[in-house]
Protein backbone atom coordinates (compact mmCIF):
# COMPACT_ATOMS: atom_id res chain seq x y z
CA UNK A 1 0.00 0.00 0.00
CA UNK A 2 1.48 3.37 -1.00
CA UNK A 3 0.98 6.79 0.57
CA UNK A 4 -1.91 7.78 -1.68
CA UNK A 5 -3.75 4.55 -0.92
CA UNK A 6 -3.23 4.99 2.81
CA UNK A 7 -4.38 8.61 2.57
CA UNK A 8 -7.56 7.53 0.79
CA UNK A 9 -8.37 5.05 3.57
CA UNK A 10 -7.67 7.66 6.26
CA UNK A 11 -9.92 10.16 4.50
CA UNK A 12 -12.75 7.66 4.13
CA UNK A 13 -12.58 6.35 7.70
CA UNK A 14 -12.37 9.81 9.29
CA UNK A 15 -15.30 11.11 7.24
CA UNK A 16 -17.37 8.19 8.50
CA UNK A 17 -16.26 8.65 12.12
CA UNK A 18 -16.54 12.44 12.23
CA UNK A 19 -19.22 13.73 9.85
CA UNK A 20 -19.44 16.86 12.00
CA UNK A 21 -16.31 18.78 12.96
CA UNK A 22 -17.10 21.40 15.61
CA UNK A 23 -14.28 23.77 16.48
CA UNK A 24 -13.00 22.71 19.93
CA UNK A 25 -12.07 26.22 21.08
CA UNK A 26 -15.12 28.23 22.08
CA UNK A 27 -15.23 31.67 20.46
CA UNK A 28 -17.62 34.19 18.98
CA UNK A 29 -15.55 35.92 16.30
CA UNK A 30 -12.09 35.86 14.66
CA UNK A 31 -10.55 37.90 17.49
CA UNK A 32 -11.71 35.63 20.30
CA UNK A 33 -10.62 32.61 18.26
CA UNK A 34 -7.18 34.15 17.73
CA UNK A 35 -6.73 34.77 21.45
CA UNK A 36 -8.01 31.28 22.31
CA UNK A 37 -5.52 29.69 19.89
CA UNK A 38 -2.67 31.70 21.43
CA UNK A 39 -3.75 30.43 24.85
CA UNK A 40 -3.89 26.83 23.62
CA UNK A 41 -0.12 26.55 23.19
CA UNK A 42 1.01 23.76 25.55
CA UNK A 43 -2.46 23.78 27.08
CA UNK A 44 -5.60 21.71 26.56
CA UNK A 45 -8.61 23.13 24.74
CA UNK A 46 -10.69 22.19 27.78
CA UNK A 47 -8.61 24.44 30.02
CA UNK A 48 -8.70 27.28 27.51
CA UNK A 49 -12.50 27.04 27.38
CA UNK A 50 -12.62 27.24 31.18
CA UNK A 51 -10.48 30.40 31.24
CA UNK A 52 -11.78 32.44 28.31
CA UNK A 53 -15.24 33.37 29.70
CA UNK A 54 -13.50 35.31 32.50
CA UNK A 55 -11.09 36.84 30.00
CA UNK A 56 -13.96 38.00 27.76
CA UNK A 57 -15.57 39.68 30.77
CA UNK A 58 -12.38 41.68 31.14
CA UNK A 59 -12.16 42.43 27.42
CA UNK A 60 -13.54 40.67 24.34
CA UNK A 61 -12.24 42.90 21.56
CA UNK A 62 -8.87 44.40 20.54
CA UNK A 63 -9.74 47.94 21.63
CA UNK A 64 -10.68 46.89 25.17
CA UNK A 65 -7.89 44.32 25.51
CA UNK A 66 -5.19 46.76 24.39
CA UNK A 67 -6.10 49.02 27.31
CA UNK A 68 -5.74 46.28 29.92
CA UNK A 69 -2.66 45.84 32.04
CA UNK A 70 -0.61 42.76 31.30
CA UNK A 71 -0.87 41.76 34.98
CA UNK A 72 -4.67 41.75 34.82
CA UNK A 73 -4.65 39.49 31.77
CA UNK A 74 -2.04 37.22 33.34
CA UNK A 75 -4.07 36.68 36.52
CA UNK A 76 -6.95 35.30 34.49
CA UNK A 77 -5.02 33.12 32.07
CA UNK A 78 -2.55 31.69 34.59
CA UNK A 79 -4.13 28.19 34.54
CA UNK A 80 -3.21 27.91 30.85
CA UNK A 81 0.52 28.03 31.57
CA UNK A 82 3.15 30.31 30.08
CA UNK A 83 0.98 33.17 31.34
CA UNK A 84 3.73 35.85 31.39
CA UNK A 85 4.48 35.36 27.70
CA UNK A 86 0.87 34.82 26.65
CA UNK A 87 -0.47 37.86 28.51
CA UNK A 88 2.12 40.11 26.86
CA UNK A 89 1.34 38.58 23.48
CA UNK A 90 -2.42 39.07 23.89
CA UNK A 91 -2.06 42.71 24.89
CA UNK A 92 0.58 43.30 22.22
CA UNK A 93 -1.34 41.73 19.34
CA UNK A 94 -4.46 43.62 20.41
CA UNK A 95 -2.60 46.94 20.18
CA UNK A 96 -1.29 46.07 16.73
CA UNK A 97 -4.76 45.08 15.54
CA UNK A 98 -6.08 48.47 16.69
CA UNK A 99 -3.18 50.54 15.38
CA UNK A 100 -2.52 48.75 12.08
CA UNK A 101 -5.66 46.81 11.14
CA UNK A 102 -8.58 48.93 12.29
CA UNK A 103 -9.32 46.61 15.18
CA UNK A 104 -9.90 43.65 12.85
CA UNK A 105 -8.09 40.33 12.56
CA UNK A 106 -6.41 40.35 9.14
CA UNK A 107 -7.31 37.61 6.67
CA UNK A 108 -3.67 37.25 5.69
CA UNK A 109 -1.05 34.72 6.72
CA UNK A 110 1.84 37.16 6.58
CA UNK A 111 0.07 39.80 8.67
CA UNK A 112 -1.07 37.23 11.24
CA UNK A 113 2.39 35.75 11.64
CA UNK A 114 3.80 39.18 12.44
CA UNK A 115 1.58 39.42 15.53
CA UNK A 116 3.14 38.62 18.95
CA UNK A 117 2.61 35.02 19.98
CA UNK A 118 1.33 34.00 16.54
CA UNK A 119 3.31 31.47 14.53
CA UNK A 120 2.42 29.63 11.35
CA UNK A 121 0.27 27.03 13.10
CA UNK A 122 -1.80 29.65 14.95
CA UNK A 123 -2.20 31.69 11.78
CA UNK A 124 -3.28 28.56 9.91
CA UNK A 125 -5.94 27.73 12.51
CA UNK A 126 -7.36 31.25 12.34
CA UNK A 127 -7.34 31.34 8.55
CA UNK A 128 -9.02 27.92 8.36
CA UNK A 129 -11.54 28.16 11.16
CA UNK A 130 -12.37 31.86 11.23
CA UNK A 131 -12.20 32.67 7.52
CA UNK A 132 -12.59 29.31 5.76
CA UNK A 133 -9.29 29.65 3.89
CA UNK A 134 -7.79 26.23 3.08
CA UNK A 135 -4.97 25.47 5.52
CA UNK A 136 -3.57 22.42 7.27
CA UNK A 137 -2.40 23.43 10.76
CA UNK A 138 -0.07 20.79 12.17
CA UNK A 139 -0.31 20.17 15.90
CA UNK A 140 1.29 17.37 17.91
CA UNK A 141 -1.60 14.97 17.24
CA UNK A 142 -1.43 15.43 13.47
CA UNK A 143 2.36 15.30 13.37
CA UNK A 144 2.34 12.04 15.33
CA UNK A 145 -0.49 10.34 13.45
CA UNK A 146 0.79 11.29 10.01
CA UNK A 147 3.97 9.38 10.84
CA UNK A 148 2.16 6.38 12.29
CA UNK A 149 -0.01 6.22 9.18
CA UNK A 150 2.95 6.47 6.80
CA UNK A 151 1.80 9.76 5.28
CA UNK A 152 5.08 11.58 5.97
CA UNK A 153 8.60 10.90 7.17
CA UNK A 154 7.95 13.46 9.90
CA UNK A 155 11.31 15.18 9.78
CA UNK A 156 9.58 18.41 10.81
CA UNK A 157 6.09 19.88 11.11
CA UNK A 158 6.89 21.86 7.97
CA UNK A 159 7.53 18.63 6.07
CA UNK A 160 4.39 17.03 7.53
CA UNK A 161 2.26 19.97 6.41
CA UNK A 162 3.77 19.86 2.93
CA UNK A 163 3.22 16.10 2.60
CA UNK A 164 -0.40 16.17 3.81
CA UNK A 165 -1.29 19.01 1.49
CA UNK A 166 -0.01 16.94 -1.43
CA UNK A 167 -1.98 13.85 -0.38
CA UNK A 168 -5.39 15.34 0.33
CA UNK A 169 -7.62 17.58 -1.81
CA UNK A 170 -7.48 21.25 -0.79
CA UNK A 171 -11.20 21.42 -0.06
CA UNK A 172 -10.76 18.75 2.63
CA UNK A 173 -7.85 20.33 4.53
CA UNK A 174 -9.83 22.33 7.09
CA UNK A 175 -12.13 19.42 7.89
CA UNK A 176 -9.35 16.83 8.01
CA UNK A 177 -7.30 18.98 10.35
CA UNK A 178 -10.04 18.66 12.96
CA UNK A 179 -10.89 15.04 12.16
CA UNK A 180 -7.30 13.91 12.71
CA UNK A 181 -7.14 15.82 15.99
CA UNK A 182 -10.36 14.19 17.19
CA UNK A 183 -9.10 10.74 16.22
CA UNK A 184 -5.75 11.34 17.88
CA UNK A 185 -7.40 12.33 21.13
CA UNK A 186 -9.92 9.50 21.19
CA UNK A 187 -8.26 6.50 19.53
CA UNK A 188 -4.60 7.03 18.67
CA UNK A 189 -3.21 8.80 21.72
CA UNK A 190 0.45 9.35 22.49
CA UNK A 191 0.46 6.63 25.16
CA UNK A 192 -2.49 4.50 24.09
CA UNK A 193 -1.18 3.61 20.64
CA UNK A 194 2.28 3.33 19.15
CA UNK A 195 1.21 2.61 15.61
CA UNK A 196 0.14 -0.99 16.31
CA UNK A 197 -2.97 -0.65 18.49
CA UNK A 198 -5.78 1.56 17.13
CA UNK A 199 -8.09 0.55 14.31
CA UNK A 200 -6.60 2.76 11.63
CA UNK A 201 -3.01 1.89 12.45
CA UNK A 202 -3.84 -1.81 12.25
CA UNK A 203 -5.76 -1.40 9.01
CA UNK A 204 -2.98 0.55 7.34
CA UNK A 205 -0.17 -1.65 8.66
CA UNK A 206 -1.62 -5.08 9.54
CA UNK A 207 1.84 -6.68 9.66
CA UNK A 208 3.52 -3.99 11.74
CA UNK A 209 4.85 -5.41 15.01
CA UNK A 210 7.23 -2.70 16.13
CA UNK A 211 5.95 0.61 17.48
CA UNK A 212 6.60 3.82 15.58
CA UNK A 213 8.97 6.28 17.23
CA UNK A 214 7.69 9.77 16.45
CA UNK A 215 10.12 12.29 15.00
CA UNK A 216 9.63 15.55 16.86
Q: What is the CATH number of the domain that holds 147?
A: 1.10.1670.10
Determine the Cα–Cα distance for residues 130 and 18; give it in Å rounded to an integer.
20
Q: Which domain holds residue 125?
A: 30-131
Residue 104 sits in the same domain as residue 195: no
Please report the pLDDT score of residue 154 as a whole number: 81
Number of domains in the chain: 2
pLDDT category at 213 given cuts 50, 70, 90 is confident
* Helices 173-186 and 3-17, axial angle in degrees (round to 10): 80
**Residue-wise pLDDT tens digits, 32-72:** 999 999 999 999 999 999 999 999 999 999 999 999 999 99
Let me know if residue 104 belongs to a domain.
yes
Per-residue confidence (pLDDT) for residue 96, from 0 to 100: 98
Q: Is 139 exposed, middle or buried (0-12, 13-18, 19+ CB in 10 A)?
A: middle
Give the residue from 116, 131, 146 where a domain finishes: 131
Same domain, yes or no, for 140 and 122?
no
In this prediction, residue 32 carries a pLDDT of 98
Q: Read off the CATH number of the domain in which 64 is found.
A: 1.10.340.30
Q: Evaluate whether residue 145 is within a structural domain.
A: yes
Say whether pLDDT at 140 is over 90: no
Q: Give the pLDDT mean for 4-21.
A: 97
pTM of the model: 0.91
Asked if the structure places residue 209 within a domain, the reply is no
Phi-psi region of 117 (alpha: psi -120 to 50; beta: other; left: phi over 0): left
CA 111 to chain centre: 18
**Do 97 and 38 fall into the same domain?**
yes
Q: Does residue 59 sit in the same domain as residue 90? A: yes
Residues 176 and 116 occupy one common structural domain: no
pLDDT at 53: 98
Same domain, 113 and 193: no
Residues 150 and 100 in one domain: no
> Does 68 reside within a domain?
yes
**Residues with active-site annotation:** 121, 139
Same domain, 17 and 91: no
- 74, 107, 131: which is the final residue of a domain? 131
131, 148, 170 — which closes off a domain? 131
Residue-wise pLDDT for 157-209, tens only, equals 999 999 999 999 999 999 999 999 999 999 999 899 999 999 999 999 999 99
Residues 6 or more apart whose Cβ sits within 8 Å of residue 190: 140, 144
Whether residue 102 is found in the same domain as residue 157: no
Same domain, 108 and 150: no
pLDDT, one tens digit per residue, over 81-131 is: 999 999 999 999 999 999 999 999 999 999 999 999 999 999 999 999 999
- Average pLDDT over the chain, rounded to an integer: 96
pLDDT of 155: 84
> Measured between alpha carbons, how far is residue 194 from residues 142, 147, 187, 188, 209 in Å?
14, 10, 11, 8, 10
**214: pLDDT strictly greater than 90:** no
Q: Are residues 34 and 119 in the same domain?
A: yes
The verdict on 126 and 144 lying in the same domain is no
212 in any annotated domain: no
Whether 210 is in a domain gets the answer no
Amino acid sequence: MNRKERAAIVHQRLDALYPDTPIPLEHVDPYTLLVAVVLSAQCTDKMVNRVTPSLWKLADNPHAMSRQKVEAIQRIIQPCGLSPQKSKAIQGLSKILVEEHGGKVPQDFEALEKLPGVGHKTASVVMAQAFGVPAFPIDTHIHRLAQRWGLTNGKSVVQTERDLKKLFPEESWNRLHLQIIFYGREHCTARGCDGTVCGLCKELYPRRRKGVVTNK
